[in-house]
Amino acid sequence: MKKIETCFTPALYSLYHNEFSNVVVIDIMRATTSICAAFAAGAKKIIPVGSIIDAKKMKDDGYILAAERDGIVLDFADFGNSPNLFTPEKVKGKTVAYSTTNGTQAIKMASCSRNLIIGAFVNLSKVVEFLNNDEADVLLFCSGWKNKFNIEDTLCAGAIADKLISSGKFSTNCDSTFVAIDLWHLASIDIMKYIEKASHRKRLKGIVTDDVVTYCHSLDLVSVLPVYKTDSIINILN
């Protein structure tokens, strides 16, 4: 039986790292949701960028740059970090450099894994299908908020873990995973109501519209499976 573990924040990642596991990086509001949206809009490749200095350099080198910190678009970026900004007009056939507060940092941190998969509610079934068909254990890696635990990433980890265990191919003895599943069962009755209490939902009020938040918490809107390979992310279902 394959095993599942859940890491609640990047600050705990070193306790869970295993180069033989498949890692699913989750940043629901908004990096991993936006990466899925970008590929659904026809992006060719996404290059995650850690620091603001490196982001500026990518822009100077001629890349399209999507970048934000603390929810706010960086002034030298082409656009920010919401899934609706990654339109076919802007990204189709293009390579996009991308830098965010939490998600792209987690992606860089987990780059030495068997497969590093970009997971979100919007591509949940594609993530589950891939993990079920591969032979490796799974680490669900929540990006959190500045190394703190957050609700929405945990709920998505719970939704993925729940489906994997239901498939009969996975089990867990990880307290974080048990709790993520229980929270998902509690929240999924009315996820938009549940998410109202999340600190990042409150933080983003006035920065993003409600339909962006709804998009971020909707299941299986896009048929993409973004995977990190040698410094950039591609959609392996392309």
Binding site for its own copies (CB under 8 A): 8-9, 11-12, 15, 145-151, 154, 173-176, 178-179, 182-183, 186, 197-200, 202
Phi, psi at residue 228, to the nearest 5°? Answer: -85, 125
**Tokens coding 215:** 């998009």
Q: What are phi and psi of 221, to 5 degrees?
A: -85, -25
Taking the least distance from each CB to its own copies, the nearer of 59 and 217 is: 217
Query: Of the two residues 16 and 228, which places its CB atom closer to its own copies in the complex?
Result: 16
User: Would you say 102 or 235 has its CB closer to its own copies?
Assistant: 102
What's the rounded Cα separation, in Å, for the pair 132 and 96?
30
Residue 162 beta carbon to its own copies: minimum distance, rounded to whole angstroms: 14
When the beta carbons of 149 and 236 are compared against its own copies, the nearer one is 149
| Cβ 195 to its own copies shortest distance, Å | 11
Q: How far is the CB of 202 from its own copies (least distance, A)?
A: 7
φ and ψ of 2, to 5 deg: -75, 150
Q: What six digits make up the tokens of 157?
A: 């980890």
Smallest distance, its own copies to C-beta of residue 229, A: 30
Q: Residues 6 or more apart from 232 whose CB is under 8 A from it?
A: 45, 46, 47, 48, 95
